[in-house]
Amino acid sequence: MNKDLLKMEDLSKDEILDILNLGDQLKYELKHGIKHHHLEGKTLGMIFEKSSTRTRVSFEAGMYQLGGYPLFLSSSDLQIGRGEPIQDTSRVLSRYLNGIMIRTFAQDEVNSLAESSSIPIINGLTDDEHPCQVLADLMTIREKKNTFDGLKVTYIGDGNNMAQSLIVGCLTVGMNISLAIPQNYMVKDYYIKKGQELSKNNNLNFIIVNNPEDAIKDADVVITDVWASMGKENEVNERLADFSAYQVNSKIMSLAKDDAIVLHCLPAHREEEITEEILEKHADTIFEEAENRLHVQKAILVKLVK
* pLDDT tens-place string over residues 215-271: 999 999 999 999 998 777 789 999 999 999 999 999 999 999 999 999 999 999 999
Quick one: pLDDT band at residue 111, thresholds 50, 70, 90? very high
b (16+ CB within 10 A) / e for 72-82: ebebeebebee
pLDDT of residue 81: 63
Q: Which of 150, 137, 93 is nearest to 225 (CA)?
A: 137
Taking the C-alpha atoms of 19, 289, 166 and 118 in order, what is their torsion angle to the nearest 10 degrees? -40
Instruction: Answer yes or no: are the C-beta atoms of 107 and 7 closer than 8 Å.
Output: yes
Top pLDDT among 1 and 106 is at: 106
The pLDDT of 44-52, averaged and rounded, is: 93
Determine which one of 38, 65, 265, 297 is catalytic. 265
* Among candidate residues 128, 115, 124, 60, the one with its CA nearest the CA of residue 89: 115
What pLDDT is stored for residue 203 in this prediction? Answer: 98
Is 170 labelled as part of a ligand binding site?
no
Query: Choosing from 130, 239, 282, 295, which is the catalytic residue?
Result: 130
171 is in an annotated binding site: no
* Residue 247 labeled ligand binder: no
On whether 164 is known to bind a ligand per the annotation, the reply is no
Position 141 confidence tier, pLDDT thresholds 50, 70, 90: very high
Range with the poorest average pLDDT among 134-143, 225-234, 285-294? 225-234
Q: pLDDT-derived band of residue 82, with 50, 70 and 90 as boundaries? A: low
- Residue from 38, 239, 293, 295 carrying the catalytic annotation: 293
Output the pLDDT for position 75: 74
225 marked as binding residue: yes
Please give the share of the chain, as a percent, with pLDDT higher than 70: 99
Does 79 have pLDDT greater than 80? no
Question: Is 130 one of the annotated active-site residues of the chain?
Answer: yes
Q: Comparing C-alpha atoms, which of 214, 215, 107, 233 is closest to residue 167?
A: 215
Q: What is the pLDDT of residue 83?
A: 76
The stretches of the chain forming alpha helices (DSSP H) are: 13-31, 54-65, 86-93, 107-115, 131-145, 161-173, 189-202, 212-216, 236-242, 250-253, 276-281, 283-304
Active site residue 103: yes
Angle at 116 between CA 113 and CA 6, to 5 degrees: 40
Catalytic residue (one of 4, 38, 65, 133)? 133
- Mean pLDDT calculated for residue range 134-144: 98
Which burial class, exposed, middle or buried, applies to 159 when counting CB atoms under 10 A from its CB (0-12, 13-18, 19+)? buried
Higher pLDDT, 101 or 83: 101
Residue predicted with more confidence, 176 or 78: 176
- Per-residue pLDDT band at 295 (split at 50, 70, 90): very high
pLDDT at 16: 98
What is the separation of C-alpha 258 from the centre of its chain, rounded to a whole number of angstroms?
A: 26
Q: Is the pLDDT of residue 74 over 90?
A: no
Distance from C-alpha of 246 to C-alpha of 256, rounded to nearest angstrom:
15
Mean of pLDDT values over 79-90: 81
The answer to whether residue 225 is catalytic is yes
Residue 143 has pLDDT above 80, yes or no: yes
Can you give the pLDDT at residue 77?
76
- Confirm whether residue 103 is marked as ligand binding: yes
0.95 cut: is pTM over it?
yes
Is 56 in the active site?
no
